[in-house]
Chain A
Amino acid sequence: MKFLEVKGLSKKFDGQTALDKVSLSLEKGELLCLLGPSGCGKTTLLRIIAGLETADRGEVWLEGREATFLPPARRNFGIVFQSYALFPNMTVRQNVLFGLAQNKTLDRAERERKADEALEMVDLGPHRHKYPNQLSGGQQQRTALARAIAVSPAALLLDEPLSALDAKVRARLRGEICRLQRAMGLSTIMVTHDQEEAITMADRIVVMNNAVVEQIGSPRAIYEQPATPFVAGFIGAMNFYSQAGGLCAVRPEKLEIDRQPRDAESLSARIGWVEFRGASTRVYARLAQDGSEICVDLPTERADQLTIRENDRVYISVAARHVNRYPAAA
């Protein structure tokens, strides 16, 4: 039995379609990322799952029971919002305790123990008597996380939890959230527009665009076999070109450059410019056959070996299994 299932959800706001027949499922203990550009409907989907919004059509099932119209409080989800929504007039500890206070089965001492435990888990022990506005962005984020996990939720819903933070803090918290999520075995849905975040953290990714699901799969599958041109273009760098009435997509690092044609499929090209990127070197080239631009990522070592310069004539080849083919767009 799936932990959570979403079946054919549709939602419109003032005539604008936010979700169009969206279905997905979440396994117990899994971290699922909803990834897509802003306005693709991913936050609306999360809010419907949380019960904060109602769908026009479709169903939400929770542990085998229909939960489409269950109020948020009865779904037992811990939610972390982009803005954290901490109670500004309460200390870190009071924030966590305020949520726990609703659990009438626990006595005061137990609630306090649980709060402190949650704060320890996110390393906020020393800061527990501070107010939110006295904390750094990362600490605020972890407070929100502690508040959400303290109530022992059945699942965690994270709405762009890291997007308000600077790059370094973000990278560290990414690891922390993953560690916590695995340690607690918490089924988690996280909304993000950051593909790197999704690829590094998720067990599975749901790529969304224009209110529909484009693809659901493991980070590797999404990266290596993107199901649609949108997914191919949205995640990582991608070369697109037309061939035999269809659209082909291939990753820059899968292409090879040689001075001589490698096989009959190798294409002749002229080097545009060369960009040093540290461990790798990106080479922009123009295909001789139709003048389309293509970029190739080479290990810098290999680029040095080739000693390529602007305007050099080279041959580009790729193994057939690395080429993703799509029917031509209508």
Chain B
Amino acid sequence: MALNLGKKAKLLNLPQLAVMITLLAALAIILAGPLACLFSKAFMDNGGGFVGLDNYRRYFGTPALAGSIFNTLDISLVSAFFSLCLALAYAYALTRTNIRGKTFFKYAALAPIFIPTIVHALGLIYLFGRQGLITALGFKLEIYGRTGIILSEIIYTFPQAFLMFHVALETADNRLYEAADSLGCSPATKFLKITLPGLKYTLVNVFFVCFTLAFTDFGAPKVLGGSYNVLATDIYKQIAGQFNMNMGAVVGTLLLVPALISFLAGGLAEDRSTLTAKSTRLRIKPGPGRDAFFFIFCVLMTLALAALVLSLLVGAFTTRYPYNLAPTLDNFKFNISTGGLASYFNSLKMSGLTALFGALFVFIYAYMMEKARGLPWPKKAGRLLAVVPLALPGLVVGISFIFFFNSPANPLNFIYGTLAILVLSNILHYFSVPFLTATGALKKLDREIESVAESLNIPKWKTFLQISVPLSWPALLEIAMYFFVNSMVTVSAVVFLYSPGFKIASIAITHMEEAGDFAQAAAMSLLILGLNLLVRLAYELAVWLNRHLFLKRKGLP
């Protein structure tokens, strides 16, 4: 009997294959193309000749530049350590104690996600700067330089770390704690021998995530750095200041190192802890002392974050802080020179388009990887490709996009300097998390639904539109929201790609800050924060309505 391989071609579903190839090619082009350009530029001189490691030698030979590496390592390590400790305690308070107001505390911790990182730094200046609210109380802190950047990075990374710990601590097997109780273990022993070992992977992952975020952040050092140089500001100076593309590419490759190391070290390893169906829900025992301690801790953390937002409010709504505290709305009349209100609407347009096209692309992509019949190899490649952006800092996305799309040889050159390239860079930059969200949602659907539909001769697109999409509404909305909120606050990827004719709000804030218009920057930040909160609220409302109007009626969970 002959091998069936040759005849298998007959069974290939051509439209399905076409969609699959298109999706893979699209992602591969915007991912691999720019990265390849970045790496080749790092090994070339200005004229495009191959120079081997010369650029790297020059880089490390310049003390001012090489020093940035140590500065960057320094602030990343310190801020990752503090962020990890604070987030662990905060998440522990919300999952393993009986404090009140958990929902409030949870949302309070997420506040920094809704504003650009540049604004964290701005808030710190309002609090600790020479005329800061806290400085005025007699508490002096040198906010420009190392300390300020570290504080700002802690604020930036805290919500991410908190979310990861929250997920890990939320689930636990109560039987382990009961067994420990029956053996007479002290609370400290239980924490050290049960809770911490269960968090092993999360601890490693959180540290790597925080470290990488701080390592590659552009906003805080831009505002607070002064003479304290880090890689992220170097790359900006090299590219935007000195037009030294090759040196910029060198720094870009250096920014990839932490993600690469964490990848190689298995830092992003999967959690293999053994929660089984038999595991019982964790019951939190009363502990008034413990609860009081953690409640106070949470209040302090919340106050610290609130102070940041509050300082923006003060800055935005007073005539000239700190000299004239008369309330005013004048700061919302933005100077045209730094971007004006138009930049806000530009941001809205860009984020809206990113949310729309990003959600569509990610969802169809995840659907094909999850539900297409056969094609094991394209699926494997597709899944791998989809998580690569997780390792790409925004700055790297930005500069590699310049290299790729600005080349006249590229047929896609026409999108350079347009809104399209901003949207595209955002979709790529934030691709991985929505992909994982979509995959998770699709995995929950019965995998035989596609088989049944196929045997009933129902076309694939019809199954997709009438079954998979309606059942994945919440995930789709979550994805759109994620794209929107992140596009509103991003600076790093787009700072190299916006055109002067189409400035966006987060960039405008940078320029306002450069021009010394702190009050306007604060006002713009509040507009972004307000819009992001509104979008979040709309999302929560939509999910709630979906659950109560549709799912409940259909007996769905």
Contact = CB atoms under 8 A, between A and B. Distances in A.
Interface of A: 7-8, 50-52, 54-59, 68-69, 71-75, 77-79, 81-89, 98-99, 101-102, 130-134, 147, 151
Contacts of A132: 555
Contact of B4 (A57, A71, A89, A131): A57
B452 interface: yes
A52 to B, nearest CB: 5
Interface string B513-557: 000000000000000000000000000000000000000011111
- 4 nearest A-B pairs in the assembled complex, by CB-CB distance: A133-B555, A85-B448, A73-B457, A99-B456
A83 B8 CA distance: 28
A68 B448 CA distance: 21
A153 B466 CA distance: 23
A131 B11 CA distance: 34
A68 to B, nearest CB: 7
Given A79-B455, A131-B556, A56 B3 contact: yes
B471 A56 contact: no
A82 B452 CA distance: 12
B454 A85 contact: no
B7 to A, nearest CB: 5
Contacts of A133: 554-557
B470 interface: yes
A85 B451 CA distance: 9
Contact of A81 (B8, B11, B451): B451
Contacts of B10: 69
A88 B4 contact: no
Contacts of B2: 57
Contact of B446 (A51, A85, A130): A85
B555 A131 contact: yes
A85 B4 contact: no
A72 B554 contact: no
Contact of A79 (B4, B11, B451): B451
Contact of B8 (A69, A86, A89): A69
Given A54-B11, A89-B467, A73 B448 contact: no
Given A98-B458, A133-B554, A133-B555, A81 B4 contact: no
Nearest to A21: B1
B449 interface: yes
B458 A99 contact: yes
A78 B455 contact: yes
B11 A52 contact: no
A98 B557 CA distance: 23
Contacts of B374: 54
Nearest to A82: B448
B451 A88 contact: no
A77 B455 CA distance: 7
B458 A102 contact: yes
B374 to A, nearest CB: 8
Nearest to A73: B457
Contacts of A59: 1
Given A54-B8, A69-B11, A89 B554 contact: yes
B449 to A, nearest CB: 5
A127 to B, nearest CB: 12
A93 B133 CA distance: 66
B252 to A, nearest CB: 39
B273 interface: no
Contacts of B446: 83-86
B11 A102 contact: no
Nearest to B8: A54
Contacts of A56: 3-4
B556 A73 contact: no
B458 to A, nearest CB: 6
Given A73-B454, A85-B448, A98 B4 contact: no
A322 B557 CA distance: 56
12 contacts: A52-B455, A59-B1, A68-B7, A69-B7, A72-B455, A75-B455, A85-B449, A87-B466, A88-B471, A98-B466, A132-B555, A133-B555
Contacts of B452: 79, 81, 85, 147
Contacts of A88: 471, 554, 556
A175 to B, nearest CB: 25
Interface string B1-33: 111100110110100000000000000000000
A93 to B, nearest CB: 14
Given A50-B455, A54-B8, A78-B455, 11 more contacts: A54-B11, A71-B11, A74-B457, A85-B448, A85-B452, A98-B456, A101-B458, A131-B554, A133-B556, A134-B555, A151-B456
B373 interface: yes
Contacts of B1: 7-8, 57-59
Interface string B453-468: 0111111000000110
B550 to A, nearest CB: 8
B218 to A, nearest CB: 44
A7 B11 CA distance: 19
Nearest to A11: B4
Contacts of B13: 71
Nearest to B374: A54
Contacts of A131: 553-556
Interface in B366-395: 373-374
B472 to A, nearest CB: 10
Interface in B470-495: 470-471
A157 to B, nearest CB: 8
A81 B458 contact: no
A112 B425 CA distance: 49
A136 B452 CA distance: 20
A325 B434 CA distance: 63
A74 B467 CA distance: 22
